[in-house]
Amino acid sequence: MYIKLNKRANTMIKLAYCDKIADTIKKALRQTDPDGIIADAGPITSDLDPVGGWFVSPKKTLTVHDRNGKAYVVTIEEAPFLDKD
How far apart are the C-alpha atoms of 63 and 7, rounded to whole Å?
Answer: 41
pLDDT of residue 9: 58
In a domain, 4, yes or no: no
Query: What mean pLDDT is predicted for residues 7-29?
Result: 82
In a domain, 30, yes or no: yes
In a domain, 63, yes or no: yes
Strand order in the sheet with 71-76: 38-48, 55-66, 71-76
How far apart are the C-alpha atoms of 17 and 79, rounded to whole Å?
Answer: 12
In a domain, 10, yes or no: no
In a domain, 7, yes or no: no
Which pTM value belongs to this model? 0.77
- Single-letter residue type at 1: M
In a domain, 11, yes or no: no
In a domain, 5, yes or no: no
Query: What mean pLDDT is predicted for residues 37-46?
Result: 94
pLDDT of residue 31: 86
Number of structural domains the chain divides into: 1
> How sure is the predictor about 14, in pLDDT bands with cuts at 50, 70 and 90?
confident
Give the domain extent around 47: 17-82
In a domain, 21, yes or no: yes
